[in-house]
Amino acid sequence: MDCCGLLTAQKEPVPLKSVEVELQVRDHVATVVSTLNYENKEDKPLEAVFVFPLPGDAAVCHFSATIGQTQIVAEVKKKKQAREEYDDALSSGQQAFLLEESDQSPDIFSLSVGSLPPGESASIRLEYVTELAVQADDGLRFCLPAVLNPRYQPQGSEGASVQVTSVPASLVPYSLSFSARVSSPRPVSKVESNCSLDPLQYLNTEQTQATVKLAAGHKFDRDVEVLIYYKDAHQPTAVVEAGQASAKPGSLMGDPVVMLSLYPEFPQDVMSSLASCGEFVFLLDRSGSMDCPMNNSKRDQTRIGSARDTLLLLLKSLPMGCYFNIYSFGSEYEHIFPKSVEYSEKTMEEALKKVEKMDADLGGTEILEPLQHIHSQPCIPNQPRQLFVFTDGEVCNTKEVISLVKKNSGSHRCFSFGIGEGASSALINGLAKEGGGHAQFITGADRMQPKVMQSLRFSLQPAVEDISVTWDLPKGVSVTVLSPPITAIFQGQRSLVYAQLSGQVGASSAAAEGCVMVKYSQIYLWSLLSPVCRLTVHRLAARTLIRSLETENDEDRGEPDEGVKKKVVELSVQSGVSCAFTSFIAVNKDNSEVVQGPLVRRDVPTSSEYISESKLSVEFKVFGQDCGSFPSLYCFSVGEVQVAVPKQPPRDPLLQLVSLQKASGCWLLDPALAAALGKTSEEVENTKPSAVNQEVWATILALIWLRGFKVDAQEEWELLAMKAASWLRAQNAPCVTECVEAGNALLGCNMQKDALGL
């Protein structure tokens, strides 16, 4: 059967024909313009409903529709008022369009296209602005989400879950065209993607402007991820954006707004001093969806399997003297120890035995309860809490989860990892942002281990505190900082600071450049302010304020009070940026012809990385009456829906070696180590210099093997190798040079003692 997804009565696909996306990147922020083209091929008027993902921190700022020669621009109104206007328009035969954010998660929007007459086409234009997240390798990540997996509804939570009509990713019936233009004060060094790109085209000799496109023939069957790299990535920048001429002076949209971008690089002596303390809490998703493969083109490892391997590396890399615990969750949660325990050989081995047995067998995705339990535990003196969260991020109580992390942000940092296509960017980015940590996404052919180990390294590096921000502005100009204050700066963590400039900010004072000085640990950063006439920064500043206000909860009810709601709605309407309490509404009041006949609802399918076999059906509604339902149709090969688990491949040699390391950092000389090194026990034992004990010899061999054969995976084993070298130095062993030479001869390497950290 070739047809797929939700079909009309004539077995025709639903009417979304194509998606066109233009991306404009300015330094660390992006403006995205999406055009959705619909066509009604039926003989009845349609209401098409398309539920789709957007980046979690996106600020939707424009929504319009073109039907024939008529363009209708939407207005931002209170959600209830917008819904009433939409329903009124449909009942009177007018065309109407409604765009609104999900009540549960800020990264899900639904678009309703009402009264599309038979044979008619409609073009919907959607514009949003967003901050680009910085990856651990200094790349800026833009993701155009295509995959929207159904969000899990926790037991007892209020409100209906977002209804998503999903089809297997390869069967999405609409195409995508995508182009990007990048400009920055710094040269663009490269642009990479998980999809095929045409070659990067530079637009000037300084290479500060460039364009790139998706290669022809791309089906919108997976998230489009674009990574942008600049030269001098750590250079601070500040951009001033002129206010809107039509807006009232003194208002957010009427005044200039400045965006300060800080992404510092600390001196090497600061970076080399890794902490030897901390309470490390690992929270692992064991819901059913974690049994999906990491990569659709590779069936050899599941998400839960990769997570087990990652926990092995994490546990081997922890410093002696720290504390740790491991939680896992699904519909319920478990923890390995009643409370965090001191890291030792005994506790590490006990934890690893339990990790090896962990499967994706705990049902749903209820992350809130284990987080509440973690935060209810008293902190350990002089052991700063570091929380690592691994999830495929498909929950619908995202705002509640992020609010909890924000409430406890003074006592911990949170590092989050979104696994697989469709992980909620609102959840993953929100956890890291409110928890002062770092967010990482593991998609496509990405390996989880190097990204997680980068974050562990960040967590072990010292924070810079006692930060001061000084504004030196022209006379008559004052500044109001809109972003929460910066209390600490970590290596690899980018901060964007938005501020409103008020007073005598005319053309003359704009020419007199201002200066921002950020001082921390005797390092000074400064940037000159130069005006830019766009509204991207204003809208992102408004979004920052809106998000901050939305999480100011009424203590008794756990939700924003009416005064806060009113302030948020006013700011949303003034800035044209949607929020949880407003929607975009457009009604074609010029349409003289009333649309005749019953209105049939069609849900446009969204790509899903996995589809459950059971209970997926779609309701049809005509004039609000239930006309029954029929199951959505899918194409699956039998092998994809079999419950049988394929045989696991033999263990990676690197993980085999790592699994043998002791908590102290050393290895034992035994047959298992010899096998991991690819040698016999006799070869390993007979070549040992006589004056050296077995553990020192075994540890030197392991270090030589890592440096000699696994240099491409250095990020994964670097911390445990540093621990091993530290253990070796503490032994004051004789004949280390002789050991290294003998080890090189045995393994066929040429490592120097210094390269091993000895």
pLDDT digits (tens, 9 = 90+) for 107-159: 677 777 777 778 778 788 889 888 888 877 788 988 887 644 444 444 554 44
Same-domain check for residues 177 and 244: no
CB burial of residue 593 (10 Å; 0-12, 13-18, 19+): exposed
- Residue 646 above 50 pLDDT? no
In this prediction, residue 673 carries a pLDDT of 92
pLDDT digits (tens, 9 = 90+) for 280-301: 999 999 988 888 877 655 556 7
- DSSP 8-state class, residue 13: B
- Pick the last residue of a domain from 434, 460, 486: 460
- Pick the last residue of a domain from 435, 460, 485: 460
> In this structure, is residue 512 part of a structural domain?
yes
> In this structure, is residue 606 part of a structural domain?
yes
In this prediction, residue 596 carries a pLDDT of 46
Same-domain check for residues 526 and 557: yes
| Secondary structure element (H or E) that encloses residue 412, with its range | strand 412-419
- Pick the last residue of a domain from 575, 609, 625: 575
In this prediction, residue 22 carries a pLDDT of 92
- Residue 319 above 60 pLDDT? yes
Same-domain check for residues 425 and 517: no
In this prediction, residue 389 carries a pLDDT of 92
Higher pLDDT, 4 or 271: 271
pLDDT confidence tier of residue 2, bands split at 50, 70 and 90: very low
Ranked by mean pLDDT, the top range of 234-238, 339-343, 638-642 is 339-343
Give the mean model confidence (pLDDT) for residues 4-21: 54
Alpha-carbon gap, residue 435 to 551, rounded angstroms: 14
Same-domain check for residues 180 and 196: yes
- Supply the CATH number for residue 74's domain: 2.60.40.1730
Q: What string of H, E and C letters represents the secondary structure of 600-662?
A: EEEEECEEECCCCCCCCEEEEEECCEEEEEEECECCCCHHHHCCCCCCCCCCCHHHHHHHCCC
Higher pLDDT, 756 or 661: 661
pLDDT digits (tens, 9 = 90+) for 489-542: 776 677 888 889 888 765 444 445 677 777 764 444 444 455 555 688 888 888
pLDDT confidence tier of residue 23, bands split at 50, 70 and 90: very high
In this prediction, residue 283 carries a pLDDT of 93
Same-domain check for residues 619 and 660: no
> In this structure, is residue 644 part of a structural domain?
no
> In this structure, is residue 4 part of a structural domain?
no
pLDDT digits (tens, 9 = 90+) for 31-58: 999 888 877 777 777 676 767 677 767 8
**Which residue in 127, 256, 252, 254 sits closest to 571, CA to CA?**
252
pLDDT digits (tens, 9 = 90+) for 228-256: 999 888 877 777 888 888 888 888 888 88
Domain extent for 242? 237-269+464-575
The count of structural domains within the chain is 4
pLDDT digits (tens, 9 = 90+) for 61-103: 888 888 777 788 888 888 889 888 888 888 887 878 888 887 7
Same-domain check for residues 55 and 203: yes
pLDDT confidence tier of residue 697, bands split at 50, 70 and 90: very high
Give the mean model confidence (pLDDT) for residues 733-758: 86
Same-domain check for residues 302 and 427: yes
> In this structure, is residue 473 part of a structural domain?
yes
Same-domain check for residues 340 and 371: yes
- Supply the CATH number for residue 421's domain: 3.40.50.410
In this prediction, residue 336 carries a pLDDT of 93
Higher pLDDT, 165 or 752: 752
> Average pLDDT of the chain?
76
Same-domain check for residues 403 and 292: yes
Crossing angle for the helix pair 562-575 and 536-550, to the nearest 10 degrees: 170
Phi/psi of residue 549, each to 5°?
-70, -40
Give the mean model confidence (pLDDT) for residues 191-198: 88
- Residue 566 above 80 pLDDT? yes
In this prediction, residue 695 carries a pLDDT of 92
In this prediction, residue 512 carries a pLDDT of 52
Q: What angle do CA 21, 24, 28 make, to 5 degrees?
A: 130
Same-domain check for residues 364 and 502: no
User: CB of 92 within 8 A of CB of 606?
Assistant: no
In this prediction, residue 643 carries a pLDDT of 34
Higher pLDDT, 317 or 298: 317
> In this structure, is residue 645 part of a structural domain?
no
User: CB of 228 within 8 A of CB of 138?
Assistant: no
In this prediction, residue 597 carries a pLDDT of 42
Using the CB atoms, write b or e for 96-131: b if 16+ within 10 Å. Answer: bbbbbbbbbbbbbbbbbbbbbbeebebbbbbbbbbb
| Secondary structure element (H or E) that encloses residue 62, with its range | strand 59-67
- Residue 312 above 80 pLDDT? yes
- Residue 598 above 60 pLDDT? no
> In this structure, is residue 3 part of a structural domain?
no
Same-domain check for residues 27 and 151: yes
> In this structure, is residue 10 part of a structural domain?
no
In this prediction, residue 705 carries a pLDDT of 92
Same-domain check for residues 80 and 220: yes
In this prediction, residue 648 carries a pLDDT of 47
- Supply the CATH number for residue 514's domain: 2.60.40.2310
